[in-house]
């Protein structure tokens, strides 16, 4: 695998946003949904879509953060990530 972060990884989105991304949310924890390549095809493995986490729940889906704006969190749990994503989707479908 060529990309830095795998799907379902817990990451932190930092503050290092370029001016063209000044409207993006920053400084929060998230779960990686995938790279542009994984979601839409092509060769872009540096752009990531993430699920934003607040107070232990997913509150939004945001794309496209660059690899250098993310850092891997120490605690990783793919089963917890899957459960959180499922719960987020079910809440949105009510």
- pLDDT single digits (tens) 2-25: 899 999 999 999 998 999 998 999
Residues of the chain predicted below pLDDT 50: none
Instruction: List, as one string, the DSSP characters of 29-89.
Output: EEEEEEEHHHHH-SS--SEEEEEEEETTEEEEEEEEEEGGGEEE-S---HHHHHHHHHHHH
Q: Please give the pLDDT value at position 24.
A: 93
Give which of 50, 64, 55, 52 is closest to 21, Cα–Cα: 64
Q: Which two tokens stand for residue 65?
A: 């953060």
Q: Which two tokens stand for residue 45?
A: 């493995």
Q: Please give the pLDDT value at position 94.
A: 61
pTM of the predicted structure, to 2 decimals:
0.93
């Amino acid at each position: 695998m060529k990309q830095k972060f795998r799907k379902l990884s817990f990451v932190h989105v930092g503050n290092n946003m370029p001016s063209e991304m000044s409207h993006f949310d920053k400084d929060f924890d998230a779960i990686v949904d995938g790279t542009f390549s994984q979601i839409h095809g092509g060769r872009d493995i540096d752009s990531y879509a993430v699920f934003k986490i607040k107070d232990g729940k997913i509150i939004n889906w945001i794309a496209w953060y660059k690899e250098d704006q993310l850092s891997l969190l120490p605690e990783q749990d793919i089963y917890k990530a899957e459960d959180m994503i499922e719960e987020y989707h079910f809440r949105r479908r009510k």
